A and B are shown apart, each in its own frame.
Chain A
């Protein structure tokens, strides 16, 4: 007992900063930054500093809960686990294994994700496993796999500090990834040029040299216009293209249609400025492109990422230090959940389920038959709940708040025969469960997280899970064993050894090697030091491929009935569906209630004052929220953070999907805004 300090990793964003948790008599009482951490080097954002605050919250689940009518009843584990196993097995027996759906989690460790997908695939012979990456970076995985051969950040976070030009598109890094923004500032202090494409005047924009407030959803015209100018002026890296690329002819032909003037007409940016930006990016010795949800959450999300890859490869700004492409991952372990095969079409390490040789390898290793049919995605699993999907196991995900068109999601969850939710709080989703399993938070378990720069990092257990809650790893082992698998792992480190034996790129990853600073994959063998940047002399896929980015304008544009653009996203003190941050007093005080940002001129027009209630309506539904009047949004635009259950911004968003990656279009839809008058009923 007494005071102990435990080093671990931040549970919030994909930066994966190093924390030290102070434990006093078994209770986590404070968080400090880790001075030795390779990414955060003694700094944290407000969320990291507050990471201990929700751990011992009285709302934590402390016992398995079984639904009895409208209420929940506490039951012991030795009832809960057999029941979960029986119900899932029954469903599979009655409707086939594909009637079971599993949502794994970007908040859980690599080992837990690995066990989760192995369980679904082995027990039910289904590939219906997915997680929330679908809602943020599925287009990244698809597009970067196609062009470069690997869907991960090409370089390391610290490389940004050495770039000469940084092009940020659709990312509010200053609020969502503040520690990464710190590296960008270092570059600026060394004289780098920061160019930002964003509709809003975010904190990143305020520190930029050039700001391009493009029309919503017109990233492709802008990028194509830039590429056309770069080719016309001969500014592209001809040698690089010749030596390392294929598909240039096709790209060139496609791009020829995108004159700078045409691009300008679509995106609303002055042709001169497009040219200037193109030249700055192309001419710099090292240029980096940083992007986030503003690029991916569109019905043309995959094409957006393709355009980014094309631009970077055209100028030879990949495969070397200080340059590259930086998709910023939202959740702490969304990279790892993808890496571990919590995806419907691939096994761990992005190995395709439909490739017979690979399937064979996994069948042999795991000792059982596997399905070759790609499974359903998050949105499809939820969409067909009660129809093709009869039972679901949801681990630490909250689709009731995070998915688009949430009123539809709620209906679907109700329609399931049996829903198991495994989480740390009774989330909006867990309220619909038949059986709730109390899991562990980041401070209560060991395992690994992989941050957005492919770095495997060690999570260390600081405190015990509350009450009868269990470590997630233990729950999965119990459930797997109850379902007849050999899940007799004694420690997550053993699972990592199994993973390393099945995925060549993680072959050298062992817990002992991660103690100090972690390791960036690929790390094929036990002497390999890890990889700072990818595609050095050769792309993962061999030659890089230019793929033409087809432009489709946003599916829903403002019209007479719905005259505003509505965009959703995050604010600095909260995180995703708010289950953890809204239970952290210090974070919650920054924003206790839902709000939407609205431009001062629009506010005058609508006769709304700061702090007054407004009603935002789209074709899906409406929410009532508080107006925050700010010039950060331009006229005609509304921005609503999606953290708040009482005003679910995602009730409003458009569930149209990107045909390639199946990501929903969160970023743009048309909305109407009214002042909410007192006498109006609801």
Chain B
């Protein structure tokens, strides 16, 4: 069994290397962003440019590359094309970034990697694979709402849950790691650096302004990659903050961030078109329309 898992992983790695090799050989991209393990066993992100380098390519650990690829593309000369190794969350993040005009689609190639079942369980990921899988076996999605800790924070007695949230959020040391590592957090200027909302020089950061602003800003873009939570030095379950909103969008509007590049978020979409989703306006909408002169 263990052998089977291992050989599966090896096949996946070889497949990935071949695709990367082909991309470089055919000059489809100037570089391939992935993970490199050097002779000394150190793993770090790396832009592979030459074929022999690809021997050092690895796929583990989970290391989000979407934001890095954006910053590389942005600071590269025109016409620079980058290929990037993508897990499901990476691909979804890249799609969201493209939708927001942060990345030019033409300059980006993706090599899709499916996550293992263990990884999906660690991430509580409901879609542990990209739309385009180039290597790896597709694992089944995990429903985060079955997780006990998630339920403690998101389901049941409001007062108790509020207490729980207050207790963890007051640990925040305002490292900005959640924002820095989130692939979709790209606004400039960032609201979390606005004195109106976030007091300078003070820790912990305010729950209502810092954390809820961040959560709501990402309500319709969060791809549940968990990077924020993984970067948090004080173990605040930041991903959970997003889960309910993601669920609502999916169940009520049939919308999931990062899936369809053409589909606009319901928050951005034209309000008037909403009945197409089968929902009705309330009566008072008409009075608004008249007032606005529509």
Contacts and interface: CB of A to CB of B under 8 A. Distances in A.
B235 A185 contact: yes
**Max chain A Cβ within 10 angstroms of own Cβ: one of B41, B46, B68, B233:** B233
Contacts of A482: none
A589 B41 CA distance: 38
Interface string B171-196: 10111110011000000000001000
A49 interface: yes
Contacts of B235: 182, 185-186, 189
Contact of B75 (A24, A185, A512): A24
B38 to A, nearest CB: 8
Contact of A35 (B61, B180, B200, B234): B61
A20 B45 contact: yes
A590 interface: yes
A16 interface: no
B71 interface: yes
Interface stretch (A37-45, A124-132, A575-583, A657-665): A37-45
B41 A5 contact: no
A515 interface: yes
B201 interface: yes
Interface residues of B, number: 36
Given A36-B42, A174-B203, A175-B203, A45 B233 contact: yes
A74 interface: no
Interface in A171-230: 174-175, 178-179, 181-182, 185-186, 189, 203, 206-207
Interface string B152-175: 000000000000000000110111
A33 B173 contact: no
Contacts of B49: 2
A7 interface: yes
A33 B63 contact: no
B291 interface: no
A48 B233 CA distance: 12
B72 interface: yes
Q: Chain A: interface residue count, which band?
A: 35 or more
A270 to B, nearest CB: 25
Given A174-B203, A186-B235, A49 B175 contact: yes
B204 interface: yes
B249 interface: no
Contact of A5 (B44, B171, B180, B234): B44
Given A3-B72, A571-B201, A45 B46 contact: no
B213 interface: no
Given A2-B47, A20-B44, A516-B40, A46 B174 contact: yes
A606 to B, nearest CB: 21
Nearest to A571: B201
Contacts of A24: 75
B43 interface: yes
A186 B44 CA distance: 26
Given A20-B45, A185-B171, A203 B233 contact: no
A303 interface: no
A181 to B, nearest CB: 7
A572 interface: yes
Contacts of A43: 175, 177, 230-233
A573 interface: yes
A182 B42 contact: no
Nearest to B46: A5
Contacts of A3: 47, 72, 75
A589 B193 contact: yes
A174 B232 CA distance: 13
A523 interface: no
Given A42-B231, A185-B171, A591-B201, A49 B176 contact: yes
A235 interface: no
Interface in B60-106: 61, 63, 68, 71-72, 75
Residue of B61, B71, B177 most packed against chain A (CB within 10 A): B177
A222 B19 CA distance: 67
Given A35-B63, A206-B170, A49 B47 contact: no
Nearest to B75: A24
Given A182-B234, A186-B235, A590-B200, A46 B42 contact: no
Contacts of B31: 2
Given A174-B203, A590-B200, A45 B42 contact: no
Name the prevailing secondary structure of the A interface residues.
Answer: mixed
Contacts of A22: 68, 71
A30 interface: yes
Given A185-B234, A207-B171, A572 B200 contact: no
Nearest to B61: A35
Most-contacted residue by chain A among B49, B72, B231 (CB, 10 A): B231
B174 A572 contact: yes
B41 A516 contact: yes
B170 A207 contact: yes
A586 B234 CA distance: 21
Contacts of B173: 45-46, 174-175, 178, 181, 203, 572
A453 B47 CA distance: 34
Nearest to A630: B202
A178 B61 contact: no
A182 B233 contact: yes
Nearest to A20: B44
Nearest to A45: B175
B33 to A, nearest CB: 9
A33 B170 contact: no
Nearest to B230: A42
Contacts of B180: 49
The listed residue with most B CB atoms (<10 A of its CB), out of A3, A189, A572, is A3
Contacts of B40: 512, 515-516
Interface in B230-283: 230-235
Nearest to A30: B71
B120 to A, nearest CB: 18
A608 to B, nearest CB: 18
Nearest to A591: B201
Contact of B201 (A7, A29, A33, A590): A590
A679 B143 CA distance: 67
Contacts of A572: 173-174, 203
Nearest to A572: B203
Contacts of A571: 201
A40 B173 CA distance: 15
Contacts of A628: 201
Contacts of A30: 71
A42 B171 CA distance: 18
Interface string A1-17: 01101010000000000
Top 10 A-B residue pairs of the complex, sorted by shortest distance between their CB atoms: A43-B233, A515-B40, A591-B201, A178-B173, A182-B233, A46-B175, A45-B175, A590-B201, A182-B234, A516-B41
11 contacts: A7-B44, A22-B71, A42-B231, A44-B233, A49-B177, A178-B175, A203-B173, A515-B42, A571-B201, A573-B201, A590-B200
Interface of B: 31, 40-47, 49, 61, 63, 68, 71-72, 75, 170-171, 173-177, 180-181, 193, 200-201, 203-204, 230-235
Given A32-B68, A43-B233, A203-B203, 8 more contacts: A5-B45, A22-B71, A30-B71, A35-B230, A43-B175, A174-B173, A175-B203, A185-B171
